[in-house]
Structure 1
Amino acid sequence: MNSLGILAHGPTPCPRPWADDPYTEAMRTGSGPLWLRREDGHRQRLDLERWFAPPDQADWTLLSRCLRRGLPTLDIGCGPGRLVAELQTCGLPALGVDITHTAVSRTRGMGGNALCRSVFDRLPRENRWGTALLADGNLGIGGDPSALLRRAAELLCHDGVLLVEVEPGDLDERVTVAVEDASGRSGPTFPWARLGAPATVRCALLAGFAPIDAWDCRDRHFLALRR
């Protein structure tokens, strides 16, 4: 048991995208490259090098907002855990959730609290998180940003804040993708989404959020949404 009152190990999920594909191996080895490959053949490279590195200047624009609020923080889709581990190093209660066992193991190895669960599973502290993070493209989880934002609202406390990384421009893209490695090996297909700030705000308003801030740093784009 830890400071958030959660067990050190969550339930074992059934095989699913991100947990039964080349992403699992990348989380184990700490190396890539990897891409999200769409059905039309277009590929988007995943920024594994940044995910495995210490938080950079753009990451710190997120972390500093969490630390200023001083409230327990949930990192949705925490990956190898650089954000949640840094928050805990700074003394802030935090929890990462990710469906990939190897990602959760890496997070725990860095000293971060993490559970191997989907954001749509039952989670600790529902309706009591002060801040939540959707960084590194995780607004795409499930391919339905509206459903994901509604779920985030359920997890946050009254006046809780969701910090979201968005795509540049007025993008609103819903696609089917698979994770692919350099050899061409890929995992199962799954729905994904990529939204710019205007589309994210439209979905957020319907989910009960109000935009309170927007900023850019190092070619990355962010919004703060208050429940």
Structure 2
Amino acid sequence: MKNKGIKKIIIFFIIMLILLILNHYFKWSSYLGDIENLEFLKDMVEDNFLLAVCTYIVLTIIGCVVLALPGFTFAIIAGILFGPIIGILVCLVATTLGAMLSFLVGRFFLKDGVKPMLEKNKTLKKLLFSEDGKADMVVLMITRMVPIFPYNLQNFAYGITDINFWKYSIFTFIFMLPGVSFFTIGAFGFMAYEGKWKYFIIAGILAILVTIVGILIQKKFLETEKS
């Protein structure tokens, strides 16, 4: 079993190395991270809205699984393309699907080989493999509410933990809502011709709430750990 886990890790890193080389050569991250390169989607929104949504979802899933892009990239693009309401919903669906696929990849290729190594560290074992499942939920909540971390790396990492797949998927969708809403509404505000201040105020309130909740969660979790 140990040798099998090591082989899976080697295969995973070979695939990731190939993708990194291809990404460096073809500059996929730079392309998808620049809204100017997605002008064709703006035209598609007007001509065929459903096709534009499906194309965005496919590109986002690819970005989630293959490219180390921060989560807010997808939210900003969704806000510019689809507006604040539909943009939030489409972004949540797309990024959750990408998170689910990355999670399965991480669980298949990494868990057997990486988990035994991490469990040797008492802190990591308590944080990532807690029997009551509370610690991994706190980590999931914090990292999802503030989507500034490379999204695909997060998802692969969660595949190593013991968190249930459907629990992970459902709460990923829920916990991402505040952060996705903030970036999507803020991005739409920059593009809006009228009422910019309204969208900026909403985005600002969301940012404050996310920050406060994140601090309270961390404080409560740390106090629990000390007691």
The TM-score, its normalising length taken from structure 2, stands at 0.25
**1 or 2 for the larger relative contact order (CA 8 Å, sep ≥6)?**
2
More helix per residue: 2
**Larger gyration radius, structure 1 or structure 2:** 2
The TM-score, its normalising length taken from structure 1, stands at 0.25
